[in-house]
Structure 1
């Protein structure tokens, strides 16, 4: 049995249906990426899962307990980190975490051990006596994550945790989340930045306008996007060649080839988009080889040629293509 089971979840705000018949499961030790644009229903769903909102209809079970009927039973199992977090004025990192540890009912040596463990895991030890309101955004995110972990929950619900972080802080956050999953925790993380989720999630759920459009492993979602194959060409000109003339001739030549739908210039490379319904990897390789042969045969000075790997953005665009309200 999955740790978290969501069945037919619905949330109405008057005539607005923010969440519409959403169902999915999440197992322990797994990171599930909740994907969707702003306003898709991600935060509303996560607030319901955190017992901060009540669904209009549907059922949510956490370790066999109903979140609606037994909220007090499941809250100790949940760690929720909202998309907007705050810290208190004139409070150090240690004081902030200690306050919440006491609020969670931790006492005596057990509280001290848990504080030390969380601060060590999140790397906050050297900042223990620093005021929380003086921290960088990345460090504040670590404090917020530390607060979420104090009571050792089984399910982590993280709403846009990487929003606004610099590249190093994003990498460090991904490493922390992967370590938490390796400890056996289930992690539900939302984002509209698909590259972030693709690098960390085991499974994904794509939601748009309150409806869940697709769920599954990242590889499975990519397989659904196989109808669109994308390849990139990198072209460099020999010294003294008529650069713009060669670029224009190459673009025209590519657009004359079967299945080439679009050619765009990106820096020193041409991005070539090929479309073929139900395309498989073997077809993509064959089409790429044919294009390369055409370019070389026409005397185009090709220095580099390769595929652009399909990613989660391709899968999202494929799944949501043509969806309207």
Structure 2
């Protein structure tokens, strides 16, 4: 049996249906990405899972315990970090965590051991006596995560945990979450930073306008969103700088579009994304031959190609494919 089972979840606010028949499961040790645009129903779903809201319909079981019928029994198994967390003025990191350890019912030596353990795990030890209001955003995020871990929950619910963090803080947070999953904890991360989710999540749920559009392992979602196998995507980069740079980009784009198998060319950051149409029965060998011919065409025109490779699909591609054209 899965650690978390969500079936037919629905939440209405008057005439507004914020969550509409959402179902998914999560195993212990798994990290699930909860993906959707603003207003999709992500935070509402997490609030229901955190027992802070009651669904209009549906069931949620955590280790066999109903979050709807027996929330008091389920709460010790939950750790919830909302998208907007706060700290108290004039308290140190240790005092803040100790306060919440007491709120969780921890006492004596057990409370001290848990606070010490959480501070060591999150790397907050050197900041033990620093006021929480003096911490950077990344360190405050660690304090918020530490508070969530004090009672050793089995399921972590994290709403936009990487929002506003610098690259180093995001990497460090990702490492902490993977370590927690390795300990057997299940983690749900709601986020709009899809590149972050792709690097840490085992599976994803894509939700829009309250409806679940797709779910599954990350690699399966990427494969499903790739479209027909006869379409190959390539990335082309140029050694083009200075005043001549833009002219070279334009000439390269024009040259690509003149090639018989090129279906589309689009500027993507510092590169060109090329969609190459193959024969219906084309296999890997035929795709390589077509790509080599395209590269040869560029080189023959004297274009300074410095990188030419298949383009790897990512969660942003899957998200755009699944949600494209969806209306209420």
Scaled by the length of structure 2, the TM-score of the pair is 0.92
| Pairwise CA distance, 1:256 | 2.2
CA distance in 2, matches of 1:3, 1:79: 14
Q: Which runs of 5+ in 1 are unaligned?
A: none
Seen in structure 2, the aligned counterparts of structure 1 residues 233 and 130 have a Cα distance that, compared at 3 Å, is same
Structure 1 vs Structure 2 CA RMSD? 2.3
Seen in structure 2, the aligned counterparts of structure 1 residues 120 and 298 have a Cα distance that, compared at 3 Å, is same
2:255 matched to which residue of 1?
253
SS in 2 for 1:199: helix
Kept in 1, the 8 Å contact 2:122–2:176? The answer is yes
CA distance in 2, matches of 1:298, 1:73: 70
| Pairwise CA distance, 1:230 | 2.8
Q: Which runs of 5+ in 2 are unaligned?
A: none
CA distance in 2, matches of 1:218, 1:35: 12
CA distance in 2, matches of 1:317, 1:276: 23
2:207 matched to which residue of 1?
207
2:161 matched to which residue of 1?
161
| Pairwise CA distance, 1:296 | 2.9
Kept in 1, the 8 Å contact 2:194–2:316? The answer is yes
Seen in structure 2, the aligned counterparts of structure 1 residues 179 and 290 have a Cα distance that, compared at 3 Å, is same
Kept in 2, the 8 Å contact 1:236–1:301? The answer is yes
2:238 matched to which residue of 1?
235
Seen in structure 2, the aligned counterparts of structure 1 residues 266 and 116 have a Cα distance that, compared at 3 Å, is closer
Seen in structure 2, the aligned counterparts of structure 1 residues 143 and 306 have a Cα distance that, compared at 3 Å, is same
| Pairwise CA distance, 1:315 | 1.0
1:316 matched to which residue of 2?
319
Seen in structure 2, the aligned counterparts of structure 1 residues 313 and 54 have a Cα distance that, compared at 3 Å, is same
Moved more, 245-254 or 91-100: 245-254
CA distance in 2, matches of 1:314, 1:303: 25
SS in 1 for 2:204: strand
Residues 297-318 of structure 1: per-residue CA shift (max 9 Å, x gap): 4443433311221111111111
1:271 matched to which residue of 2?
273
Seen in structure 2, the aligned counterparts of structure 1 residues 280 and 24 have a Cα distance that, compared at 3 Å, is farther
CA distance in 2, matches of 1:207, 1:86: 27
1:55 matched to which residue of 2?
55
In the TM superposition, 1:111-126 aligns within 5 A as: 111-126=111-126
SS in 1 for 2:12: strand
CA distance in 2, matches of 1:25, 1:111: 32
Kept in 2, the 8 Å contact 1:255–1:263? The answer is no
CA distance in 1, matches of 2:65, 2:191: 27
In the TM superposition, 1:124-143 aligns within 5 A as: 124-143=124-143
1:221 matched to which residue of 2?
221
| Aligned partner of 1:300 among 299, 303, 306 | 303
Q: In the alignment, does 2:206 pair up with 1:196?
A: no
CA distance in 2, matches of 1:284, 1:89: 61
Kept in 1, the 8 Å contact 2:253–2:265? The answer is no
Kept in 1, the 8 Å contact 2:235–2:307? The answer is no
1:105 matched to which residue of 2?
105
Residues 193-239 of structure 1: per-residue CA shift (max 9 Å, x gap): 10110110011111111111111111000001212643111223699
Kept in 2, the 8 Å contact 1:226–1:278? The answer is no
